[in-house]
Chain A
Amino acid sequence: MIEPVDTCAVCPRLCRHACPVAEGTGREAAVPAQLAGVLRAWRDGVVDEGLASQAASLCTDCGACSAACHLHVPLPEALAEARAALHLVSAPADLAPVLGEGGTVALLTDHRDWSEPLSRLLGEPVARWSTRDRLGWQGRGHPGWSSHLSRIRSEVGRRRVVVADQFARAALDAAGCETVSLHELIDRGGWTVSCRTSGQACCGGGGILGGHHASDAEQLALSFPVSGPLVDVGCAAHLRGSGRGVRDVIDVLEELVCDAL
């Protein structure tokens, strides 16, 4: 049976413009069809596991290649399978408890706590929930993934979760939780963190690539077209020192609260 990596390995790489990593870093090796070529060669015993691991970890799992493909080849799924086979999938970390009261939960993906200004902006109590591994999204495919989703569901309950990171959001969606993007909530502030290809919040390059290809993550973040002030969550965190007018998420929320008053 012809598998996605076979099809993509001989494809004219027509997904290259859609891939935020390939476009953002300029790295030919990051083109999804090139990743497929390496994984096919690894499957067929032509290249070693080290090369395959490098290739598989260049994918941020954003799905843009599959969306752009006229054949809708599910390459992201094939790459996720390859990561599992290459033991690149780690078990999701234990979940921290949700702290505080309220029907809304702020999911905090770094050390900053923006739940308080969000609470004032929304005019309601907001609980806070910290995760340092994007709610374990990279553990997708791990045997413990299903029970991990159950634990997410149980921790969130009927509350809605405000989230800035699309992969953490995907984990919440997989768990069946109600989510709201922080980006949408404060979009009226005019700030942006827009991926050039999808127009969505972020491609996840700053997180997933940060571990294996740190310089690519930085290059990727630098490639964002900036049409307004940036808020330093997600990939834009890599831009803090770039002199591109990056604003602290808490400051932006505080400003919006003032504007609302």
Chain B
Amino acid sequence: MSSVPKDVASSVDRLDLWAARRDLWPRDTLLARDHASLPEPEAVIWPETDEQLERVLRAASEEGRPVVPWGAGSGVCGGARAQAGAWTIDLKRLQTLGDVDRESWTIEVGAGVNGQRLEDHLAEQGWAMGHSPSSIGCSTVGGWLAARGAGQFSSAYGVAEDIIVGVDGVSPGEGRFHAGLPGASSTGRALSPSEYDMLVGSEGTLGVLTRLRLRVRPLPELRVLRGWRFPDVPSAVDAMRRLMQEETWPFALRLYDPVDTWIGGKTRPKKVRKEGHRAWYKDLLSALESRHPEVVRHELALPLGLPRFINRVAGGLARGCLLIVGWEGRREVVRAMEQAARPILAEHGVDLGAGPGERWYASRHAVSYKLMPIVLRGGFVDTMEVAAPWSLIPEVWREVRRAVAPHAVVMAHFSHAYPEGGSIYFSFAGRGDVACYDAAWRAARDAVLACGAAVSHHHGIGVLKRESARRSVGPAIAAYRDLQQRMDPRGILNPGVLFDDASGEGDQAPPPVPRLRWEDGLVELQPGEVPARVSPEVRWPWDRLPAPPREARNPWECGWVGVEAGLEGQRVLLGRGPREAVGPDLRRDLWDRGDLPRCWVGVAQPGGRAMGRVRTEHPWALAREVLRAGFRPGAMGVDGQHLYLGFRGVAAGSLSQALERWLVEAGVGGWERVSWRLLPRYAGPSVPCEPTDGRAVAATEQHVWRPQDEEGS
């Protein structure tokens, strides 16, 4: 403790050490429930400035003391659990929270700002970020990027790393650094795009984040939500795929499998659920609780103790599954999307009206509250989120359930969908101690790896998945280790998380490479191939690979999904599903260094196309305004003084008409319908510029962009 800089707030108070023992990894919750011993840090430190943090890290580095960065401890993989003798660096006094920059549609916030507080702060000013993880009340902004988190609206707004456009931080080796779009206070070295990719998801092992800059947009004009009942998972997953590949961009798209639908009762009105067939059971429990509390304590023992039987019964009784689908944004756009999507949904689904969707929206952050009774009554409960291309999703869903069934009652929902695939979110509950918990997890993890899917979509790696993460990245880990050597030469930053070299998993054969099928909507490209020129039509026609960094493209414009290349005699695949979050993003380095690299990029579906062009003095300035008005053109490019805007998919015609009306309202005349053409999108290094800059080559909602000068400005 004596070496903690004296003017930095810190504590060795037992209460503070106790509170920093564990994050929300359910395994540690079980240990805490049973009063098992958990390691405590030696001190808790609250830096209030970058300069203080820099001195703390220097002091820790000098004595080789581990430090654990701590936001709100909401991680569920043990990534922020304490280590004996370590300093926990609590970032909650990094509370920068200014006003929205109305020119750039961004806001800069301190890494320790609570998510709900940020959302409330934005809403007061009429803005939203579109990031709504169920942990929003108990997580911090810095933690979102550190663990590559995702919110429930990721189908429309992307995941945390898509929403965050710039970051500042401090590391023991580099001092202060920044990445992405710089802010007014950014100092130190600017990380390269490849280094920024690796910082994302590094869980505090490369540096400690201090400030982040996020995209924001005005609160939506209209939000609509509906529930649809489908006969089975495959038909519903197929509808989800088509909605995304037809570019209808729902902000909410959540499918509950039959067991989750049945147990959650999500298709029934709330009144029925409350007073319906299980009311008598609750009455019985209440009556028993007063006389025979031990009976109630063991209420869950039987079902959780017979998981194989319960899974079979539940699977047999459960019929149909619920899909929640919703749109928000500009009124006309929302109506056009919803209308166009209806035939896709109605093909196999039954419209349940607005109720199920609105109920979900109102209680979307409440699900975690339902888990406590299971834990308190001697059970365990956990969740696992995986990512996969569309064609692999049914297989992963089936195989994980089969693997976990002997250990725990298992159900799933599919809550993050993209044109290139999606995520499955398994929930499992069983009876027993940590040994039972570990067995269930091993079974689930092995099933995912055997299928070739990604073991994490948004929960991060921490301690829980460090072995499977190590196996997944194989020899591609070298790039991360090189950067780690520069940013944290003494290895003091959160040691023990992310990749477990000691496990020997890195020497294992990598998981199989899934075979792409037509429904995945992906095509393989090699270096030198220009996406804009290949057939079938690539969804985002970049003029080169890799695509621009995240801050220079809109969140829904995917760069690439998987990158596969040879390293040390092995074929390594990174990006086994869209927005996978298996630790740091190492794809760019694999692409640059690997042998015979190939990458997966999305292709557009044939069908609806509508395009027009308008002549204007500053086409990219107008393009930014179109995006800000809530339109998401599938094709956008400039040829001379013409801005070309096109829509794809089932809503193409109506969106084109809505855009034409908007242009008239905005005083921009001369809209001319033209036949469909793809205009290559600039993908080289770029910087924001004045919207009227004659060198402009691209636009996002936030900025107009021009190529970066050779000098780097």
Contact = CB atoms under 8 A, between A and B. Distances in A.
Interface of A: 1-2, 6-7, 9-18, 23, 26-29, 31, 34, 37-38, 41, 44, 46-47, 50-51, 54-55, 58, 68-71, 196, 223
Given A1-B289, A68-B137, A17 B114 contact: yes
* Chain A to chain B: the 7 pairs with minimum beta-carbon distance, closest first: A26-B92, A29-B19, A28-B19, A17-B116, A70-B366, A29-B15, A26-B93
Most chain A CB inside 10 Å of its own CB: which residue of B44, B289, B376: B376
Contacts of B20: 28
B682 interface: no
A37 B24 CA distance: 13
Most chain A CB inside 10 Å of its own CB: which residue of B18, B72, B112, B366: B18
Interface string B187-199: 0000000000000
Given A26-B112, A70-B365, 17 more contacts: A10-B32, A10-B33, A11-B369, A12-B24, A12-B74, A12-B371, A13-B72, A14-B365, A26-B92, A26-B93, A28-B19, A28-B73, A51-B18, A54-B13, A68-B137, A70-B366, A196-B117
Nearest to A50: B14
A23 B117 contact: yes
A13 B73 contact: yes
A12 B135 contact: yes
Interface residues of B, number: 43
A11 B372 contact: yes
Contact of A12 (B32, B35, B138, B296): B138
A1 B347 CA distance: 49
A85 B146 CA distance: 42
A28 B16 contact: yes
Contact of B138 (A16, A44, A58): A16
A38 B14 CA distance: 11
Given A6-B376, A10-B33, A17-B114, A38 B137 contact: no
Contacts of B19: 27-29, 31, 34, 37
In terms of DSSP, what is the predominant structure of the interface of chain A?
Answer: loop
B35 A2 contact: no
Contact of B369 (A54, A58, A69): A69
Most chain A CB inside 10 Å of its own CB: which residue of B29, B70, B92: B92
B676 to A, nearest CB: 48
A41 B90 CA distance: 23
A9 B33 contact: yes
A109 to B, nearest CB: 28
A10 B18 contact: no
Contacts of B185: none
A55 B13 CA distance: 11
Contacts of A15: 137
Nearest to B381: A10
Nearest to B116: A17
Nearest to A197: B117
A13 B46 contact: no
A226 to B, nearest CB: 13
Interface string B125-147: 00000000001011000000000
A10 B138 CA distance: 14
A58 B19 CA distance: 13
B417 to A, nearest CB: 25
